[in-house]
Amino acid sequence: MKLPLFSHMREAAQKLMNRSASATIQQAMDSLRGHPSMPPAAPAQPTMRDINPPPPRAAAEAAPEVTAKAAPPPNGARPNPATHPTEFAQDMLNRMGIKVDLQANIDRAIDVGAIMHPAPEVALPDGAQFIKSSYTNHAGTRNYKLYIPASYHGQAMPLLVMLHGCTQNPDDFATGTQMNQLAEEMECFVVYPEQTANANQSKCWNWFSAIDQQHGQGEPSIIAGITQQIIDDYPVNERQVYVAGLSAGGAMAVIVGTLYPELFAAVGVHSGLPFASAQDLPSALTAMKRGVMSPRKAGDGSQPIIVFHGDSDNTVHPRNGEQVIEQLLHRQQGKQSVQSGSVPNGHRYTQTTHTKADGTPIGEHWVVHGAGHAWFGGNAGGTYTDAKGPDASREMLRFFRTVS
């Protein structure tokens, strides 16, 4: 499918080349088409590894777990085509009197890509709803999708907030984790906030940004706002509100749960990182590669957490899962029990359970042997899933019920 944008760009390029314009313009145009003719501005960063190959669109958009944004050019300065190709091309169009909103066309191109390579369709049982809405506060706007099970008939139910990983979206994440199917069985609402490409070009939650690690600021405030909006609109059991996530979403789940303990009763972390494990891109890459040197003590240690991590995860080092539990236990004195198991024709795992002296569960740490960076027990119809188990979704909901 050809977009009007590229017709305008080709015409503009031809005019410039006829006037002996610099070949830099062509390079910028190539980069907008997804085929840059100039070397990248920064070395490539590690990408998420997907056990199940993603759909064509997800594979094409696969990008680093964390993304740094180039600073905008000073007022009056010409944009650098190597670091700001979109702004550079827009500046050239403006100078030639061509009235085209380049960013709007790029956004439409993304939408066209979604139509050509749609996310997995989420099948709904009769009477269920998967509705799209949005929330806005001072930190920005995010869309979300709320699953209302067919088993809902006006009764108060728990609410689970699910934070997707990089390059994913609500439909993909719902398909891969199969959390909607479990919501029918266990009677709960599930909401999937959606990160935007404008906030992070890889659609990662910005867990490594200092502003996004503060109460009342950044993305945590938006996620908490979405949660409160659903509580206000539906009969949610406010003592049974939970947050969970995968990878960047897992790291953000720790942050949101830590900052808003009055809102969330427990946290689920799959292949994620501890609270405030990075404050910028370099420290984020270091944490992902080998864990945090000195994990910051977070919260009062009273919020229950369940952690899943593969010991062969080459994207987020398994040490991070251990450190999430260490943060939980820094003020807790209790008991620990360890048991091993295996999934038939699947992975072996070691489950460590932490309880208070009176036996109340406060944490679980599942190390899945031989597993990588993917949601365990997931559906291959979604990205970043490993069907060999154990069933992380079911175990998370089971754990949440035991600590409520």
What digits encode the pLDDT tens for the residues 193-229?
A: 999 999 999 999 999 999 999 999 999 999 999 999 9
Which one, of 402, 389, 209, lies nearest residue 310 by Cα?
A: 389
Check residue 259 and give its pLDDT.
95
Helix ranges, 148-264 (H): 170-177, 179-186, 218-233, 248-259
Q: What's the CATH number for 129-403?
A: 3.40.50.1820
Region(s) of the chain under CATH 3.40.50.1820:
129-403
pLDDT of residue 33: 36
Structure confidence by residue, pLDDT tens digits, 161-191: 999 999 999 999 999 999 999 999 999 999 9
Amino acid 71: pLDDT: 56
pLDDT of res. 299: 55
| φ, ψ of residue 312 in degrees (nearest 5) | -115, 25
pLDDT value of position 346? 94
Model confidence at 56: pLDDT above 50? no
Q: Which of 70, 77, 74 is nearest to 40 (CA)?
A: 70
Per the confidence metrics, is the pTM higher than 0.85?
A: no
pLDDT at 293: 77
pLDDT confidence tier of residue 128, bands split at 50, 70 and 90: very high
